[in-house]
Amino acid sequence: MYIGIDLGGTNVAIGCVDEKGNILAKKSFPTESKRGYKAIVKEMADTIHDVMSDIGLSAEDIKAIGIGSPGTVDRENGVVVFAGNLDMVKVPMADELGKYFNVPINMENDANAAAYGEYIVCGHDADSFLLVTLGTGVGGGIILNKKIYRGFNNAGAEVGHITVMMDGEQCTCGKKGCYECYASVTALKKQTEDMIKKCPETMMSEWVKEHGHISGRTAFECADKGDKAAIEVRDNYLKYVAEGITSLMNIFQPEIIVIGGGISKEGDTLLNPVKEFCYKNDFNKFMPKTKIQIAKLFNDAGIVGAAMAAKM
């Protein structure tokens, strides 16, 4: 049995994962990062015992533990180098957890772990596979030769930070015009808000009053009902999503690209226009095309990927 830990800014999710990537039990608890990493790791250890006992097993049945952490990770030393949303700088996470369990502990960047999780369940053993996650930001990961691609310094695969619009929107990373500034759900919400300001008569104004807030669903739902302003927001957003995916296709020509994140639950409404744009605009006109599909694991991808990367 393998343990996968998805260490997030809000929650820590922990699962028991079998050899094939199935989650047999899982639990989560609030991260409460202000209490410091030792208290968090203590609760991780307790929760690992809990999930193992839920399926009638004990700590002796654990073969390896994988942790997916946001930010920059030093894999060799099992250290969270910097994770802004966890208030963590140079935290020796693996050593600390190693005080509770005498098994190999592997650390990954959380986006890389999620990509590997999706690869396990929908990668069909491909030699080249990309995950693009459309969420608060745009993250993702790259699987080449069946392994996580990390770059020479473990800081690679920041697919959300390719420039798609020089001198465009300011990104939190410091650069301007990043893919994330156009294709994240945060960006979609801003695009929705801007359109509501420009066209207050849009059905989206009603939607927001009814729901009390703007969400990634606002434009999609109102577009479904035929609202012109919403259709414009949705279609522009889908084009933004497709622009970045086309760039990644032109660079990698991967066998499979998978789109994840909450918004990908829109399914074919999202997938079909993106595919149409990508297949029309990608550089490759003569060879077989990359498969583009929707992710399968969503929030569980981090647990599965962290566990399976620890198995590697």
Task: Compare residues 20 and 280 and give the one whose CB is closer to its own copies.
Answer: 280
Answer for which of 24, 57, 165, 231 binds its own copies (CB under 8 A) is 165
Strand order in the sheet with 79-83: 72-74, 79-83, 88-91
Minimum CB distance to its own copies smaller for 118 or for 180:
180
- Tell me which residue has tokens 């996650």: 133
- Minimal distance in Å, beta carbon 13 to its own copies? 25
Residue in 158, 227, 266, 300 binding its own copies, rule: CB under 8 A: 158
Contact 66, 3 (CB under 8 A): yes
Sole binder of its own copies in the list 182, 207, 220, 237 (CB under 8 A): 182
Of the two residues 153 and 212, which places its CB atom closer to its own copies in the complex?
Answer: 153
Q: Using the minimum distance from each CB to its own copies, give the nearer residue, 109 or 215.
A: 109
Residues whose CB is less than 8 angstroms from the CB of residue 100 and which lie 6 or more positions away in sequence, other chains included: 41, 42, 45, 48
Considering the rule CB under 8 A, would residue 173 count as an interface residue with its own copies? yes
> Which residue, 72 or 299, is less far from its own copies as judged by CB?
72
Nearest to 132 by CA among 256, 222, 2, 306: 256
Distance between CA atoms of 287 and 23, rounded to whole angstroms?
A: 37
Q: Which two tokens stand for residue 57?
A: 């097993």
Work out which of 20, 34, 153, 210 binds its own copies, going by CB under 8 A.
Answer: 153
Kind and range of the H or E run holding 55? none
Contact between 157 and its own copies by CB under 8 A: the answer reads yes
* By the rule CB under 8 A, 75 interacts with its own copies: no
Rounded to whole angstroms, what are the CA distances from 78 to 72, 87, 106? 11, 17, 7
Q: Which of 67, 70, 68, 50 is nearest to 58 (CA)?
A: 50
| Residue 85 makes contact with its own copies by CB under 8 A | no
User: Which residues contact its own copies by CB under 8 A?
Assistant: 72, 81-82, 126-128, 142, 144-145, 149-159, 161-166, 173-175, 182, 239-240, 243-244, 246-248, 250-255, 280-290
